[in-house]
Chain A
Amino acid sequence: MAEIYLNDIAHGRSGDKGDTSNVCVYARKPEYYKIIEREVTPEKLKAYFGDMVKGEITRYDVPSLQGFNFVMKHALGGGATMSLRLDSLGKSMGSAVMRMKIHVEDGEI
């Protein structure tokens, strides 16, 4: 078993609507989809972000695109208009998700 960054097997993009951040996460190869499905659960992501994401996290699975959409509420310190954060639109929330460490079995990647 090895610990890797999600970034090693996935790519995606973050967007904002008010204080909600969405991060879509796609497998870099089709066979990585199952790993992401197993490793990046809403619960794990919520624990990973801690205080940074104050609301619930929902995961929507889109297997036809080998991807997932994570919708994170109250995730932007108030959102574009209100946030005191440097990155008020959450442009770097995508790379923040990619920075999460996940476990892969030997031979899985």
Chain B
Amino acid sequence: MKKIAIGGGQGFWGDSPDAAIHMIRHADIQYMACDYLAELTLSIMAKQQLKNPEKGFAPDFQTRLLKEAGKEAWEKKIRILTNAGGMNIKGCVDGIKNWAEAEGMKGYKIGYVLGDNIKDKIPQLLKDGWTFPNFDYDGNFNDIVDKIYNCNVYLGHEGLEACLEQGADVVIAGRAADSALFLAPLKHEFGWAADDWDNLARGIMAGHLLECGGQGAGGNYMYDWRSVPRMDELGFPIAELTDDTFDITKAPDCGGIICEQSVKEQFLYEVHDPANYITPDVNVDISNATLTQIGDNRVRVGGVKGKPRPDTLKLCVGYHKGWKTVSMLSFAWPDAYEKAQYCAEIIMKKMQRRGMKADDIHISYIGLNSLHLGVADMSEEALKNLNECVLRIAVFSEDKAECAKIIPEISPLQLNGPPGASFFGGRSHVQEVMALWPTTVPRDVVQVESHILEI
């Protein structure tokens, strides 16, 4: 019976390439998919590209992964799919072309998928009466239309699969949905029909369990993190599928753990309604799914069902929202928290006097409540004898100059405030705040193109 194994090589832009390199060298896989794009990544890339047209993608895919193990993957016929193209797919492809030529990889086929960037189509869509309703908040799209950095549609598997059909050894996309990177090769290999919803759902769930890299193999593992072997050599998960079975496992001779609990924690991660996990390719139903340990580091996934895909595609719009600055000051025993609180008061009084117009201010104390906020333990017992505490003040303003007013007020408190205040990390900077406008567009707005560049 035909069996296809696909590995998850990357969980986000900035992730370690170690597990992917190990997998190429030691695992029996035919495909690998590497996810580089979180929700905001494209906005960051768009901003980089504005400053330098040669940027706007994740160069690490080539410089850290392909350079190290890309030729070996090609020789072993492991085909790699990625959304590292970001906002500059051609830039990403050029980098890979130059590398492959230098390596003498004649015949290496680079596939790439265009069509997710629909920024140019926005004016026409508005004219046609499409209102871009925001999933999360009320608001009028017209109010942000002049501040947009990027408008990218979450593409499904089609363009990626077309590249594979044309023999691509590596496939570069922009905003392809993370899980579509994994579904495409599985659908291509098993020849699933475009409306074979149950199988498409299995392919998507393979992607879902792999797209966050180490988090699917014992990273960020709440159940029993101490039990995870060799976290310094954490392997990333591998999905093995046949027509009937769907297993999660990992490469030989690496750290990490694949067990019911570790797979479970990833299973509902960033899912909302388990009966309607909506992707561009299929509406997945995992409300009756099962996970069974069937071997060492091997879990079988069952009960995944699919329903027809949605008529619209998710559109991620990133736009300029305002500015923020984050300032910190540290304090030691005794009365560390009380001193930090008093400093916050001093700073706020000064800011009031300077007439700072902040749209939002968030004060917290690192070491005490900056993570758990309102549910942190702030009992007398927890505060007593605190070794140290860091005051953190974050300010948001639509006006950059207002935001900057707080910056020079922090370091003077080393001499002018309660005892022992320590300023670290240098003066803070005003950072741009980008926001997302999550919405949808009709499917027919998007024209997907698949291309092949042969070395």
| Identity of the chain B residue whose Cβ is nearest the Cβ of A10 in the assembled complex | B222
Interface residues of A in 77-107 (CB under 8 A from B): 77-82, 84-87, 91-92, 94-96, 98-100
Q: Which B residues are CB-close (under 8 A) to A98?
A: 222
Which of B39, B268, B287, B366 meets A80, CB within 8 Å? B39
Contact B371 A60 (CB under 8 A): no
Contact B265 A26 (CB under 8 A): yes
- Please count how many residues in chain B sit with their CB below 8 Å of the partner chain's CB atoms: 56
Contact B223 A24 (CB under 8 A): no
Cα–Cα, bound, A12→B396 (Å) = 32
Contact A64 B290 (CB under 8 A): yes
Contact A48 B375 (CB under 8 A): yes
> Which of B135, B275, B366, B373 counts the most chain A CB atoms within 10 A?
B373
User: Is B372 engaged at the interface, CB distance under 8 Å to the other chain?
Assistant: yes
Which of B326, B373, B433 meets A81, CB within 8 Å? B433
Q: Which A residues are CB-close (under 8 A) to B272?
A: 17, 20, 22, 60, 69, 71
Q: Which A residues are CB-close (under 8 A) to B366?
A: 86
Given the contacts A18-B39, A71-B272, A99 and B375 also touching, CB distance less than 8 Å = yes
Contact B43 A87 (CB under 8 A): no
Given the contacts A60-B287, A84-B362, A98-B222, A22 and B372 also touching, CB distance less than 8 Å = no
Cα–Cα, bound, A19→B289 (Å) = 27
Cα–Cα, bound, A67→B266 (Å) = 12
Cα–Cα, bound, A98→B264 (Å) = 16
Distance (whole angstroms) from the CB of A58 to the closest CB of chain B: 8
Interface residues of A in 45-85 (CB under 8 A from B): 48-52, 58, 60, 62, 64-65, 67, 69, 71, 73-74, 77-82, 84-85
User: Is B139 engaged at the interface, CB distance under 8 Å to the other chain?
Assistant: no
Pick out which of these stretches binds chain A: B69-77, B100-108, B434-442: B434-442
User: Is B445 engaged at the interface, CB distance under 8 Å to the other chain?
Assistant: no
Interface set of B (CB-CB < 8 Å, partner A): 38-40, 43, 135-137, 215, 220, 222-224, 261, 264-275, 286-291, 303, 318, 321, 324, 326, 360-362, 364, 366, 370-375, 392, 394-396, 433-436, 438
Interface set of A (CB-CB < 8 Å, partner B): 11-13, 15-20, 22, 24, 26, 28, 48-52, 58, 60, 62, 64-65, 67, 69, 71, 73-74, 77-82, 84-87, 91-92, 94-96, 98-100
Nearest first, the 9 closest Cβ-Cβ pairs linking A and B are A15-B270, A84-B362, A24-B268, A84-B394, A11-B223, A92-B371, A86-B370, A13-B265, A52-B374
